[in-house]
Structure 1
Amino acid sequence: MRLLLVFLALLGFISCTNKSKVEINSVEITPVFIDSLSIRAIEPLDENRVWFAADKGKVGLIDGDTPKLANIKYGDSLLHFRSIAATNEAVFVLSISNPAVLYKIGFNGTEATNIEEVYTEKGERVFYDSMKFWNDTDGIAIGDPVENCMSVIITRDGGNSWQKISCETLPRVENGEAAFAASNSNIAIFGDHAWVATGGKKSRVMHTADKGKTWEIFNTPIVQGRTMTGIYSIDFLDEKNGIIFGGNWEDKAFNEGNKAITKNGGKTWKLIANGKEPGYRSAVKYIPGTEGQGIVAVGSPGISFSGNGGKSWKQLSKEGFFAIEFVNDTLAFASGNNRISKLIFKK
């Protein structure tokens, strides 16, 4: 019996560690929207439709070849958006700086039905970075500190109202520690969990296992100490396995201490491909259905791919993007300066 148990345990270990390497040799890039915008927040609905939020107050739905666009003003000012999230009934966009304004856009599956302001925050240091939903009821948005903690707002009613969490509940941050509004991807969601990546003075990962009720914070080996160093993006495959990516925006070729993985829910992180390509990237995503082996990272220097869980990487394209979101295992949307493109990954 003991030998049988040992054999079964060994078999389980082998099956977990010998996952199939993913092969991708090229990417086909097709622009689906071109405009004079900086687009850092996208939310695909399916293979043909994607929501976006951009600067100059522009929010839109790209439906095949048809862009449905709106300009959002707060008073006389055009807002700059870098956060977007969606539920089955609405899309939410959040502006970056003072004032931070969060809008709920009703959506009937084809057209926007109404727009309403559901949260506003004013203050000299207000700056929101990203937003996600756990489900159609519970959502979270993250901003830079205005006190001694990250700014965290939560909705429990489908986005109709939002409340800011007290710093008494959140981990204390260092002076100069903040987050990057680079790709709407410094929050990762899985189940009831959320992980939030920070950068600047410190590069750490905040974690909640109960939709924002309680929090802890973990150190990482990602480069830190300067204003533009740190974690720019985070993604989780499940409640244990995740990846963080970033670097130094002021030295994009620098590739030490800019990518790491965890296998214990973020408690500890191990550098991957350290000192090897790629350098700085602003968004990283696991490819759906590849058991964590297929990963794509994008940034202004180009598109990079790993087929072995981050151990090694190759550059698929030098075309730069800020953000990427997958629809399935071969198709994603990516956004950057002046455009949104559809990416088809090919073996």
Structure 2
Amino acid sequence: MRRTFRTVAAGAVCSAALAASTAVPAQAQPQVPAQAGKHAAPHWALKATDTPDVRFRGLSAVSRNTAWVAGTKGTVLRTTDGGASWRNVSPPGAADLQFRDIEAFDAHRAVVLAIGEGEASRVYRTDDGGATWTESFRNTDAGAFYDCLTFFDRRHGLAMSDPVDGKFRILSTSDGGRSWKVLPNAGMPAALDGEAGFAASGQCLVASGPSDVWLATGGGARARVLHSADRGLTWTATDTPIPAGDPAKGVFALAFRDRVHGLAVGGDYRADQASPQAAATTADGGRTWRPAAQPPPAYRSGLAWLPHSRTAALAVGPTGTDLTTDGGRTWRTVDQGSYDTVDCTADLGCWAAGEQGRVARLEK
């Protein structure tokens, strides 16, 4: 979406815990050591990236040890040692681009999306850990502006653009991002006036399973979620209770733990504006959405289910991190640091990234 995002300075890490021990099965619970007579709790531990002038809105966690981040100034970093060190693997000649989404398959293969009007929207792929990159897509339509991408598996994926000729535009790949084609828009409902996606965290387009995908919107009279069960060929649109009616308001991030249970967060990204009712849940694949009884206290742009949990998830934004342990009905703030996006892996690896080169991993 054609948006400029403001930020709030990072706060201190909150010792109050992300209560991950209540969010995973007993056999997978992290063992929290006692410290000075108190129990230490899982918390965000910052990992130095030495990139204070870069904002990372793209994040792909592969494992507790391996993660990729992508951001401004055409920057892509990769770690394979849990964040102890980072390798700058930015594509050459990309310094003028803004990377807003990255999807990694492992430590070697990744696809990254640059946003912007016209030819600024591009997709690159690497198969050698970022040593070399291939530009696999460059937008040539002045009316298109790509926001997010997602993959169903290692071969099949989609990318979405703000509406072109009154409908959201969808790109499709069936070879892991090596080539792309624009899908026909006959099955896409008309966009609302002013409606678009938010390129805030790489989570405005998310997939679950082999064929289900959801698209988050804002900027129009209503904040909507569009769902496709056939990899982007046909879509249905549903209103959410998250406030809209302004170019700065809407759904910014989605997360689905399976094809029916999902979460949505968003609000108003302007720092001087309140964001009431900025979270919602669905238990029917996005056909209906219910407002959170106790939403996060402010705008949130990133969202992830905690590993091996049916009820716990994290939401992040410029003013903090919130935790739910009841499937999104209620949220509580557990950290004051500034992050834009969050991602978790099956081996209990959770990562967050944001402004001023901030990258953190959830640690005990």
**What range is the shorter-chain TM-score in?**
0.7 to 0.9
Deviates more, 1:113-122 or 1:217-226: 113-122
Q: Which residue in 2 is equivalent to 1:200?
A: 219
Report the alpha carbon displacement of residue 58 of structure 1 after superposing the two structures with TM. 1.3
Q: Is 1:46–1:327's contact at 8 Å kept on the other side of the alignment? A: yes
Matched, 1:45 2:65: no
State the distance in 1 between where 2:245 and 2:330 align: 26
| Larger Rg computed on CA atoms | 1
State the distance in 2 between where 1:63 and 1:258 align: 35
Match of 2:125 among 80, 101, 104: 104
Report the alpha carbon displacement of residue 251 of structure 1 after superposing the two structures with TM. 5.1
Deviates more, 1:33-42 or 1:209-218: 209-218
Matched, 1:219 2:239: yes
Match of 1:121 among 122, 134, 139: 139
Aligned AA (1:157): D
RMSD: 2.3
Q: Which residue in 1 is equivalent to 2:46?
A: 30
State the distance in 1 between where 2:98 and 2:22 align: 40
Report the alpha carbon displacement of residue 281 of structure 1 after superposing the two structures with TM. 0.4
Matched, 1:140 2:158: yes
Q: Is 2:63–2:347's contact at 8 Å kept on the other side of the alignment? A: no
Q: Which residue in 2 is equivalent to 1:72?
A: 91
Deviates more, 1:171-180 or 1:244-253: 244-253
1:276-314 CA distances to partner (integer Å, 9 max, x unpaired)? Answer: 5422100111111111x1111000011111112222222
Q: Which residue in 2 is equivalent to 1:311?
A: 329
How do residues 1-347 of structure 1 correspond to structure 2 at under 5 angstroms?
Answer: 22=23, 27-35=43-51, 36-64=53-81, 65-72=84-91, 78-87=96-105, 90-97=109-116, 98-99=118-119, 100-107=121-128, 111-191=129-209, 192-201=211-220, 202-250=222-270, 254-274=274-294, 276-291=295-310, 293-328=311-346, 330-344=348-362
* Structure with higher RCO (Cα < 8 A, 6+ apart): 2
Report the alpha carbon displacement of residue 261 of structure 1 after superposing the two structures with TM. 0.4
Report the alpha carbon displacement of residue 167 of structure 1 after superposing the two structures with TM. 2.5
Q: 1:175 to 1:74 in 2, by over 3 A?
A: farther
Q: Which residue in 2 is equivalent to 1:14?
A: none
State the distance in 2 between where 1:237 and 1:312 align: 17
- Unpaired segments ≥5 residues, structure 2: 1-20, 25-39
Report the alpha carbon displacement of residue 48 of structure 1 after superposing the two structures with TM. 1.8
Structure having the higher strand fraction is 1
Q: Which residue in 1 is equivalent to 2:30?
A: none
- Unpaired segments ≥5 residues, structure 1: 1-19
Aligned AA (2:218): G
State the distance in 2 between where 1:252 and 1:25 align: 32
Aligned residues: 321
State the distance in 2 between where 1:199 and 1:315 align: 24
TM-score of the pair, normalised by structure 1: 0.86
State the distance in 2 between where 1:312 and 1:86 align: 31
Q: 1:330 to 1:315 in 2, by over 3 A?
A: farther
State the distance in 2 between where 1:57 and 1:131 align: 17
Q: Is 1:220–1:268's contact at 8 Å kept on the other side of the alignment? A: yes
Q: What is the percentage of aligned positions where both structures have the same residue?
A: 27
Q: 1:163 to 1:74 in 2, by over 3 A?
A: farther
